[in-house]
Structure 1
Amino acid sequence: MKPIILFLLAFFSISSFSQILVTRDTLLMGSKFQISVVDDKETNAHSKINLAIAEIVRLEEMLSTYKSTSEVSLINQNAGIQPVKVSEELIFLTKIANHFSELTNGAFDISIASMDKIWRFDGTMDTLPTSQEIEFAKRNVNFKNIVIDSKNQTIFLKNKGMKITFDSIGKSFAADNALAILKNLGVQSAMVNAAGDITVMGNPPHQKTWNIGVQHPEKKNQIKKIVRLNSGAVTTSGDYQKYAYINGTRYSHIIDARTGYPTRLWKSITNVGENATICNALSTSCMLLTKKEQKQLLKKVKGFRIIR
């Protein structure tokens, strides 16, 4: 679950001369998505929103770890056995993930899913895993054991017991793709909010920009900063929405793959940039890094800025 970024236009349909803003909330990929489209007719806007939703549903079928027939599930089921033929999109997304693993020296790693049995953030965890349990689970956490064969379009996990998950960047990727669908349909102004990972283009009626409020990590319903955008994305990673509370200490769901333990460096990190996928990879990565390491990372990934 991602921290909530509050969209500051709280309405469903507002007229501005011939333009109407239509917003729809829906549950996709296990989270709340909000899609807003500016059009001259409400029926047209809803038709376009339907196509954006269909794109997100299609990507969920590819990325889900809960659906046994998804590409990601098939990769996990065949870990240590054989490569799995996948879509070009999943090859592309896995390469992005592994690139950030390289940039963070292994702190960010989609094979962290292999530790899902010892760190649970669903309210059922009341004791900490032992150091031995963590070390045992870590044996299957290593992005270098994710083998991407672009020519044959396959992905292979070298070790049995390995798993990958795109919980960190999958919803953002879906948001980017949904916005691209809307753009291809001729929409000039729209917003896709994927559980707090927001990507926009154009502007809503009566306003020059989309105004996005970044939630304060320690003060519920209080906005820390307003980000104004006509194009681009805002994503936030934080430890205050999904965590385990054990012996008086809150343990974040964001785990440093190098140590096997939840990060405790930051309450939240927000990134602003050209697309939600990279923004989210950055915000998650930055949660795992010191301020000095964050600066070094942002020098390598141009066109993005951080809000702490």
Structure 2
Amino acid sequence: MMRRTKLYMDTVVDIQVATERSKEEAEAAIERAFSAFRKVEDACSRFHPDSELVRACRRIGVPVPIGPYLFEPLKFALELADWSIGVFDPAVGGTMEKRGFNRRYLTGEIADNPADDSATYQDIELDAYNRTLLLRKPMVIDLGAVAKGFAIDLAARELSRFERFIVNAGGDLFAGGADGRNNAWNIGIRHPERRNETIQTIEISNEAICTSGSYERISAAADGVHHIVDPRTKRSPNAWVSCSVVAPYAMLADAISTAAFLLKEEEAPYLLERAELRGVFIKPDLRIVKVGGM
């Protein structure tokens, strides 16, 4: 098993490949996979003042040409926002900055971007023909719930020729092929209260699993606010402490896990059923809810 790790998107990206192909071929593919993370981060980060996203958000009321590494995840985020009737909303970035999630993780600099509190995904206009972005109101677009999944998917595509591989970005991952015993990969879901333990395991093969949890990042500026903020109420929901979703690709699993976390106990399972996905949800009392034939 060949294994390499690098830091991208404020998380450790761990890539493992097992193959009968040459070491040189595998190493070249792994480097291309890491390059995908760099390109997505350069395009989509709201924490980098020179990212394509931040530069585009500075221009209001005019169409701005954007590249594919920003256009594709933003297009997906807007489609999900429309499908979920605003439960999932990439225009939530301004609210997140006001709640204390505004520190640039590379420099420590505090971001202070203008945003209209009334702005929603409906104030974002994408022109698919001209590949332009137009913002009708000042806002901070946050693609944290899709960009990492998008990067994982691009990396997995670079590794798809190999018999077995995993792209793991801070617990969100795509597992290709099977493990060394030619069975499905056995993936552990982190225990919400004990960092080095798992609370549930799940088998996947040629699938992604992504988790949204309230235990990762807590705001120092607002008591009880974590990094998943409901765009409708401007508050952090607490029906769940963890929502893990299995999907054919990581960007879908990433986004749906976030959307599910924003919903009430009776609503979140229905969201997965509508999307024909499966998942594992964990309540604050650590009760486990399995959805979709888990």
Q: Normalising to structure 1: TM-score of the pair?
A: 0.81
Over 3 Å counting, the alpha-carbon distance change for 1:158 and 1:246 in structure 2 is closer
Over 3 Å counting, the alpha-carbon distance change for 1:286 and 1:244 in structure 2 is same
Report the Cα distance in structure 2 between the residues aligned to 1:107 and 1:221, rounded to whole angstroms: 31
Q: Which of 62, 69, 74 lines up with 1:82 in the alignment?
A: 62
> Are the equivalent residues in 2 in contact too, given 1:172–1:276 (CA < 8 A)?
yes
Report the Cα distance in structure 2 between the residues aligned to 1:143 and 1:192, rounded to whole angstroms: 30
Report the Cα distance in structure 1 between the residues aligned to 2:130 and 2:102, rounded to whole angstroms: 38
1:257 aligned to 2:231?
yes
Q: Which of 74, 81, 91 lines up with 1:111 in the alignment?
A: 91
Over 3 Å counting, the alpha-carbon distance change for 1:178 and 1:25 in structure 2 is same
| Unaligned residue ranges in structure 2 (runs of 5+) | 104-113, 282-294
Shift of 1:34: 0.5
Secondary structure of 2:18's partner? strand
1:181 aligned to 2:161?
no
Shift of 1:107: 2.2
> Are the equivalent residues in 2 in contact too, given 1:265–1:287 (CA < 8 A)?
yes
| Deviation larger for 265-274 or 216-225 | 216-225
Residues 146-295 of structure 1 correspond to what in structure 2 (within 5 A)?
A: 146-160=124-138, 162-183=139-160, 186-244=161-219, 250-295=224-269
Over 3 Å counting, the alpha-carbon distance change for 1:82 and 1:122 in structure 2 is closer
Aligned match of 2:31: 50
Report the Cα distance in structure 1 between the residues aligned to 2:263 and 2:17, rounded to whole angstroms: 36
Shift of 1:182: 1.4
Shift of 1:45: 2.5
Report the Cα distance in structure 2 between the residues aligned to 1:66 and 1:290, rounded to whole angstroms: 30
Report the Cα distance in structure 1 between the residues aligned to 2:31 and 2:95, rounded to whole angstroms: 36
Report the Cα distance in structure 2 between the residues aligned to 1:276 and 1:307, rounded to whole angstroms: 16
> Are the equivalent residues in 2 in contact too, given 1:74–1:84 (CA < 8 A)?
no
Secondary structure of 2:17's partner? strand
Secondary structure of 2:194's partner? coil
Secondary structure of 1:261's partner? coil
Q: Normalising to structure 2: TM-score of the pair?
A: 0.84
Shift of 1:63: 1.2
> Are the equivalent residues in 2 in contact too, given 1:251–1:264 (CA < 8 A)?
no
Over 3 Å counting, the alpha-carbon distance change for 1:70 and 1:122 in structure 2 is closer
Output one character per residue of 1:228-276: Cα deviation in whole Å (capped at 9) or x when no partner: 12210111000001113679x5322100000111122211100011111
Report the Cα distance in structure 2 between the residues aligned to 1:196 and 1:295, rounded to whole angstroms: 22
| Deviation larger for 254-263 or 58-67 | 58-67
Aligned match of 2:109: none
Over 3 Å counting, the alpha-carbon distance change for 1:137 and 1:159 in structure 2 is closer
1:73 aligned to 2:51?
no
Q: Tell me which amino acid in the other structure corresponds to 2:226.
A: S
Over 3 Å counting, the alpha-carbon distance change for 1:166 and 1:117 in structure 2 is closer
> Are the equivalent residues in 1 in contact too, given 2:260–2:269 (CA < 8 A)?
no
1:299 aligned to 2:273?
yes
CA-atom RMSD in angstroms = 2.2
More strand by percentage = 1
Shift of 1:204: 3.0
Over 3 Å counting, the alpha-carbon distance change for 1:137 and 1:91 in structure 2 is closer
Secondary structure of 2:178's partner? coil
Report the Cα distance in structure 2 between the residues aligned to 1:83 and 1:288, rounded to whole angstroms: 31
Secondary structure of 1:56's partner? helix
| Unaligned residue ranges in structure 1 (runs of 5+) | 1-20, 124-135
